[in-house]
């Protein structure tokens, strides 16, 4: 046997894929890395090596893969890598673009179409005890009721003409509208997909953060002055932290959540409830 030193490899552990290695993604990776081998995937090729070094330096078993969820071949490549790396157990799908980061079209491509693609790709690797957690947003809970035609359209994001039909159906083509509706559709996707994950003994859930102190959160505060009002009305009177979102993902991934599937967990300090009972 070849003797190796200085390696944090843990071939005995199942795999957690963390897709989207920004603020929240890295906090979640650190947590899931306690009892998984990590496959950390994200868009920017340039930052992946530094991210790997950070996590390896903390003693975690981590492989990095560059993956752009808007590119079907890239998602298939990630799934192939995971399939050849070990036993897939957990997906934390964190990647998304906020309204200040991109235009209408790009937000849809990343936040919903990309997420739907990942759901399909990881389903193929799921087995008894697997779980997929999709990070959504409080925004999903702020959308007005959907007209049936829009609802049916949002429930079919992998249709070839999805984006064209969306542009025809929705009047307001703003990044904010794309963010709200794409997150709402993501929560619906996780509820709709529960039977196909259940058929493999696996679970799928969404987790909707409220105002969280990350660079993305700070950018939105800077660009949307009205957002400070949401913070003022949050019952817990502060932003959530990345660690608190990692706590929620860790719980949802754990055996303590073994009967939780096809639903959403709001992690928002109570602002969703305030909006519901105050009429918006």
214 binds ligand NAP (CB under 6 A): yes
Taking the complex as a whole, the smallest distance from the CB of residue 211 to ligand NAP amounts, in Å, to 5
Ordered alpha helix ranges (H), the chain: 23-32, 45-57, 72-85, 104-108, 115-123, 148-154, 162-169, 175-192, 194-198, 215-223, 227-233, 242-253, 271-278
User: Which residue of this chain has its Cβ atom nearest to ligand NAP in the complex?
Assistant: 22
CA distances from 95 to 57, 210, 274, 278 (A): 24, 16, 27, 31
Write the binding mask 150 to 189 for ligand NAP: x where contact by CB under 6 A, - elsewhere.
----------------------------------------
Q: Does 90 bind ligand NAP (CB under 6 A)?
A: no
Q: Per-residue contact track with ligand NAP, 102 to 121, x per CB under 6 A?
A: --------x---x-------
Question: Is position 215 an interface residue for ligand NAP (rule: CB under 6 A)?
Answer: yes
Residue 92 found at the interface with ligand NAP (CB under 6 A): no
- Binding of residue 68 to ligand NAP (CB under 6 A): yes
**Residue 87 corresponds to which tokens in the numbers above?**
């036993």
CA distances from 119 to 90, 147, 157, 181, 263 (A): 12, 25, 12, 18, 15
- Facing residues of 40 across strands? 18, 64
Task: Write out the residues near ligand NAP by the rule CB under 6 A.
Answer: 20-25, 42-44, 47, 67-70, 94-98, 110, 114, 135, 137-138, 209, 211-212, 214-217
């Amino acid at each position: 046997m070849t003797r190796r030193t200085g390696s944090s490899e843990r071939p005995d552990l199942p795999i957690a894929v963390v897709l989207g290695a920004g603020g929240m993604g890295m906090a979640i990776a650190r947590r899931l890395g306690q009892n998984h081998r990590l496959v950390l995937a994200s868009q920017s090729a340039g930052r992946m090596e530094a991210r790997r070094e950070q996590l390896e330096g903390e003693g975690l078993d981590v492989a990095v893969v560059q993956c752009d969820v808007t590119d079907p071949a890239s998602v298939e490549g990630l799934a192939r890598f995971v399939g050849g790396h070990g036993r897939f157990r957990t997906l934390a799908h964190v990647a998304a673009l906020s309204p200040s980061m991109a235009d209408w079209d790009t937000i849809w491509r990343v936040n919903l179409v990309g997420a739907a693609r990942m759901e399909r790709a990881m389903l193929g690797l799921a087995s008894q005890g697997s779980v997929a957690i999709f990070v959504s947003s409080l925004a999903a809970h702020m959308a007005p009721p959907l007209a049936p035609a829009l609802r049916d359209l949002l429930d079919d994001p992998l249709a070839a003409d999805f984006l064209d039909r969306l542009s025809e159906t929705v009047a307001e083509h703003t990044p904010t509208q794309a963010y709200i509706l794409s997150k709402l559709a993501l929560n619906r996707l996780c509820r709709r997909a529960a039977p196909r994950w259940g058929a493999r003994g696996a679970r799928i859930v969404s987790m909707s953060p409220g105002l969280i102190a990350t660079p993305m959160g700070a950018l939105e505060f800077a660009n949307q002055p009205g957002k400070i009002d949401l913070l003022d009305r949050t019952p817990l009177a502060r932003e959530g932290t990345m660690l608190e979102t990692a706590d929620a993902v860790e719980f949802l991934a754990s055996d303590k959540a073994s009967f939780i599937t096809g639903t959403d967990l709001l992690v928002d300090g109570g602002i969703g409830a305030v909006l519901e009972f105050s009429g918006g």
